[in-house]
Amino acid sequence: MKHFKNSRDVIVAITLLLIISACGDSEEVEGDEGDGEENGDEEEQVIDVSLPLGPDSQQGIGVLEFGEELENLTDGRLSIEPHYDNALGAEREVVEGMGVGTVDAGISSTGPIGGFVDEFLLFDLPYIFDNNEHVYAFLDSEHGDELAQRLEEDANVKVLAWMENGFRYNTNDVRPIEHPDDLQGIDHRTQESQVQVDTWEAFGANATPMAWDEVYTALQQGVMDSQENPLPTIYDMNFWEVQDYLNLTQHVYSPAPLMMGLDLFESFSEEDQEAIIEAAQHALPIQREESMRQEEEFVAELEEEGMEVTEPDLEPFEEAAEPVIEEWAPTVGEDLVEAALNMDY
């Protein structure tokens, strides 16, 4: 009986201590809750961002600027983790991944996006835009907003900013290209876009679509003779190692929109959504300026690396492209094509 009494006393004592301790903890927790927001205890989140190119590319510069501004605007709660050189998958896979939530955000050429939204095939059509001012006037108008809205509706992906790859130029290891006839017999890689295939066949090449991450090896091994890309991309990918001729055809302008999965974007608070958009728009002119700067710089750099640079007369290429524009305008939207061709700038 004595043993039971002692045990009971112990239990009572322990219970009293726990009650006292709990009361003290309750006061501390209550105090912590009052200080939490002020002390910056909100949950931090890292957004993974896919890029086709490296950190020194025009894409890399823009995305890093976006990430830095986003951290500033959110006091470090939101940050990014760039994944370079298609580490998260080829461009089409990345766009699909954003739509289903397996990829947070990324940059992609618009060629693969045309597989989701017909209107994006506009950017595969040759000789639609004259220069950068023409393009920016179009993309920064209601037409760019409408294209972005279609991507949300059809692919569940949100455009944060119309960043760019820039105007595209031909390279090959066969001959200089002065006229479309010079492309006869050349095996040319295109993006995964039937419009591009039709364009290069209209120019006279043997056109084959191929995923971006396979291109360098295909050129190196002679599976392909030719490709086309903006000058910063040509330089970033060291295509001068496997291509002898740079031909300034300027046949297509290629946006590289910075995008995010729509479901992820909408999961953020309204305040954070505004911060994401603001950071992307802050980075946009910086990225575009860097793209243009690199384009000017890399003509000389590529020539120094041994490429022969040719500036062909573009009129024969424009004439060869006219049937392609006529064929695809109904699919893209004739009003949209006309708006792009006739945009004031």
What pLDDT score was predicted for residue 75?
Answer: 97
Per DSSP, 345 falls in state: -
Q: What is the pLDDT of residues 185-209, one digit of tens each?
A: 999 999 888 999 999 999 999 999 9
CB 264 within 8 A of CB 252: no
Q: Give the list of residues 6+ apart from residue 314 with CB closer than 8 angstroms, or none.
A: 127, 249, 250
What pLDDT score was predicted for residue 192?
Answer: 81
Query: Domain 45-165+254-296 is classified in which CATH homologous superfamily?
Result: Bacterial extracellular solute-binding protein, family 7 (3.40.190.170)
Token pair in block for residue 35: 């200080």
pTM: 0.83
Distances (CA, A) of 232 to 168, 245, 292: 10, 16, 9
pLDDT reading at 84 higher than 80? yes
Decide which of 3.90.850.10, 3.30.70.270, 3.40.50.300, 3.40.190.170 is the CATH code for 169-253+298-341: 3.40.190.170
pLDDT reading at 35 higher than 90? no
Q: What is the pLDDT of residues 144-192, one digit of tens each?
A: 999 999 999 999 999 999 999 999 999 999 999 999 999 999 999 998 8
What pLDDT score was predicted for residue 16?
Answer: 44
Measured at the CA of 26, the angle between CA 22 and CA 27, to 5 degrees, comes to: 125
Report the chain's mean pLDDT, rounded to a whole number.
90
Domain locations along the chain: 45-165+254-296, 169-253+298-341
Closest CA to 173 of 185, 162, 155, 159: 185
Using a pLDDT cut of 90, give the percent of the chain over it: 83
Say how many Å lie between the first and final Cα of the chain, rounded: 99
Q: What is the pLDDT of residues 297-341, one digit of tens each?
A: 999 999 999 999 999 999 999 999 999 999 999 999 999 999 999
What pLDDT score was predicted for residue 77?
Answer: 98
Question: 45-165+254-296 and 169-253+298-341: same fold?
Answer: yes
